[in-house]
Structure 1
């Protein structure tokens, strides 16, 4: 079992865009560089300390274009003090070799999914060799990975990664349980707590997100069990029954209110950087 202790405050991550939802279907989805920066500023103000970014092209489609990735990182970094995390998953159709180039954009953090998983009607491919290559590249670049766990088997893969590759840059191990994806781990408290019970002792912090209707139950379970929160329109497009999310900051503000009610108020960006051992890449 992980030795990670209940934190006095809560790391709130916002995942504002993702790669699955079409802009034409959800106009409020931030897909342009300007919308991304505006979203980052508003979400930092609402209580987020970390932003998980999927980049879209001028056509609003998911892209791993290196110029646009760097533009996103630099834009958010200049406008906020948020920890800037890039997704290395991209869209599930992106080739593995191209996904490794995400770190060229010099983010503070990157996602590292700990195994292949069913993803709706598709398959999110993360073979062992790719995981090791990404982990070692992150260590070399001094980028802190967030280990994304979609399945209980991914917890075992994390154990194997640490055994083979050692600790990440800075020595902290932060994981995020992504629950409720069709075909993967269900968005239930029982499944989440089973995963938490399996975490290696090297894990220093963990968060969780629930897709769609699992959003609030997983947030409540995570906070109650000492975990942190990920929210955002990548994972959930409805604020309440019959009420679409109008802006990512609405989800962040609700998460911050929930965390504060449970006497674990939102972490500041400085606290998040210390908790995750983030290398300071800011120049201002």
Structure 2
């Protein structure tokens, strides 16, 4: 398959700590360094969260601004995608960084269960986040935890309420949400292509399922997400030494599937994103 595969590295998230894996980058400086290594290994999208000084999750726009500045300086051309996820804040605070105009931001368009809580994405908040992304021309990556989220994403895009090209990520393996199931994965891909032909998509597998979803997605012509946010191990008994190591494993899967890895220029072309400074 000649189509380049975009690799997204989710560098930090809101959950893993250094007690879980010392390689998890917490400070802005650590995140920039870890992302630069992942960028050089083949990642073209950085999915970013920020943390407070004590390591707890934050949605502070000032911290996002420092991170964005550092990534633009040290990873020129890389697509920066900021998280509006619900673990980092509540209500409209989740979108407080959107005026910074990152290339992309995550957008969950519906609610679902997480391991110990309900991941709430009420319609009014989804509408507000979408309107902020439209106003600031931030292209969303739709995080689909359920089949209904695919339908909602397509409806929002067809109604002109989302900027840019539609890009959907299937998230599988979160406890109490959608399990890793090949028939469901295939149905997700088929459904998205039926509702919105030609739409680009990727997949994320949580924990031990990260490699499995990378393999399925790359083989099916989609794009791949890896990184310490979703998975802190290389294997059952081996911690991942870095985000770059997880990216390198994804690069090797691409090679085994005979798919080229997308450069940042190719990734921007595929997703319809302008080159930096344009």
TM-score bucket of the superposed structures, by smaller chain: over 0.9
Closer/same/farther in 2, CA of residues 203 and 182 from structure 1, 3 Å limit: farther
Closer/same/farther in 2, CA of residues 117 and 132 from structure 1, 3 Å limit: same
Instruction: Pick from 31, 43, 49 the counterpart of residue 38 of structure 2.
Output: 43
Q: Are residue 83 (structure 1) and residue 43 (structure 2) matched?
A: no
Residue segments in structure 2 that go unaligned for 5+ positions in a row: none
TM-score, length-scaled by structure 2: 0.94
Closer/same/farther in 2, CA of residues 160 and 204 from structure 1, 3 Å limit: closer
Q: Are residue 132 (structure 1) and residue 127 (structure 2) matched?
A: yes
- Hey, what's the Cα distance between the residues in 2 that align with 1:105 and 1:58? 21
Residue 173 (structure 1) shift: 1.1
Instruction: Pick from 237, 244, 254 the counterpart of residue 232 of structure 2.
Output: 237
Residue 106 (structure 1) shift: 2.1
- Hey, what's the Cα distance between the residues in 2 that align with 1:131 and 1:103? 14
- How many residues are aligned here? 275
- Hey, what's the Cα distance between the residues in 1 that align with 2:126 and 2:277? 28
Q: Are residue 194 (structure 1) and residue 187 (structure 2) matched?
A: yes
Counterpart in the other structure of 1:204: 199
Instruction: Pick from 13, 31, 39 the counterpart of residue 18 of structure 1.
Output: 13
Counterpart in the other structure of 1:9: 4
Residue 167 (structure 1) shift: 5.0
TM-score, length-scaled by structure 1: 0.92
Q: Are residue 223 (structure 1) and residue 218 (structure 2) matched?
A: yes
Q: Are residue 149 (structure 1) and residue 144 (structure 2) matched?
A: yes
RMSD (Å) for aligned C-alpha atoms: 1.7
- Hey, what's the Cα distance between the residues in 2 that align with 1:17 and 1:210? 15
Note the alpha carbon deviations across 1:163-211, whole angstroms, 9 max, x for none.
Answer: 4335523xx1111111100111112222211111111215521000111
Structure 1 residues 50-61: aligned runs within 5 Å: 50-61=45-56
- Hey, what's the Cα distance between the residues in 2 that align with 1:103 and 1:279? 17
